[in-house]
Structure 1
Amino acid sequence: MQIIKEKATLTEVISKLKFEDSSVGFVPTMGALHDGHLSLVRQAAAVCDVVVVSVFINPTQFDNAEDLDNYPRTLDSDTQKLAELNLNLIIFTPTAAELYNDKVISEHFQFDGLEYEMEGKYRNGHFDGVGTVVKKLFEIVKPDKAFFGEKDYQQLQIIKKLVQHHDLPVEVIGCPIYRESNGLARSSRNERLSTEIRNKASFIHETLLKAKNKFGIESVNQITNWVENEFKANPYFKLEYFEIADSETLKPISNKIINQKVRAFIAVYSEDIRLIDNIALNY
């Protein structure tokens, strides 16, 4: 396992790997690694000769300065977890100044409207920040395949659109949501929850599963109203949004259409910590 901090050094290493015809997988992270991240790394290592894991807390995708300040920074622990996988890994840990050339600002992107749905309505500039850092990382790492978890499903669709629009030679692979034993979607933010709330947070996934069961027999409006009422009756979680949307366009649906693939998306607050999740409803 190599740990690299400078772009120039990584570029040199990647060039050598490409010359040797080695396939390169890529798992971008913001650190605070958990089993969900490690599952992505294992999936990448199963199909690629070497895997680059970036550990970089990207300042341009935070619309809330306090959220950025509170984001866990656990590089030593992250490195140890990756080392214990005993895989052929390169860990890329640049500073913001190194990655952004001292100009820590976002580019502006068009993602065919994906950026205006759900998370885009609540997190100003978030997807410009995501697009900026992922594009930079793709250009440096030059991966053959890049692996992203479906917990951030909207982000996954946006990255696929980024690759399409900028003709980037990388295959973007979505990986199933990795969950805790109680169904809570794995997230670095979970570590900030109290033990009590972390246990009670099974309610989020349970609600999505019930919504999935209802999808075959109830209308979109009935299901949405039911979810909203469930959260109103729960004193531990505040619902920010629940939407049933087309899996490709992410536009909310009001009526079911034959052969249209749809997902349910949810964002919830508890203890001032924001949690998101989603589930496929009919596929």
Structure 2
Amino acid sequence: MTPPRRVGRKITTREPIIQEPEQFEPEATRRPAGVTESSRASRGWWDRNADEYQTEHGTFLGDDRFVWGPEGLDEVEAELLGPPEELKGKDVLEIGAGAAQCSRWLAGRGARPVALDLSHRQLQHALRIGGARFPLVQADAGALPFRDASFDLACSAYGALPFVADPVLVLREVHRVLRPGGRFVFSVTHPIRWAFPDEPGPEGLTVAASYFDRTPYVEQDERGRAVYVEHHRTLGDRVRDVVASGFRLVDLVEPEWPAWNTSEWGGWSPLRGGLIPGTAIFVCERG
């Protein structure tokens, strides 16, 4: 799971994980960012920050848990992909897998996962945590390196979709590689959060921007090149994207913040989570 602040190559060998220091303080702005620029920025950002991300959030994520978002909703309870006992033998594609914690959980239920991520460094962490018990593939979610109808299920916990300029491109690719009747479940930042400051405390409870402003959030370097890009889609946009890609929307889940979760994760916190949703999970099926 990689919540925002956020030809295929198979990862088969262990490589040293070395954190490269930042050379500049990026400038935060709102401006257009296309498909290529967004993809390049995401790959660079996650390669540079994967070590810090896994250090900071690895305990919460675990090595083989399937968590849908900072609220802590666990697939073992949610069963959004279906009953765990029915996962055995299923071919499952995880998109934006990070260190492949979700794929590891799926493998433990007898599924045959493939963990895909744009970031090579994130996939190195997948090797560090659990070796290569299933395929790890470095590729862009907008150009999946798989044949048509290769998978029974697909999932993405905050992977890829918050960071791509053309979500329909990704959704159509997922639709292509799923078998008829296949299910795709993905989670993203709840769109309402874009109207509020990304702060965990009381300052994050006052509307500060238009919910309808779809201008991407961009962090750029001293030359104006994007180093981090996040794209906003309204709730209606997300539903229309799903339908336009050939999927049927089965459910839209907005997890409530549980009493046991006392941790903060960026702009997610018990305070905000008790008042406004922080995650939206879309359960889709291929016709």
TM-score by length of structure 2 reads: 0.33
TM-score by length of structure 1 reads: 0.34
Larger Rg: 1
- Give the structure with the higher percent helix: 1
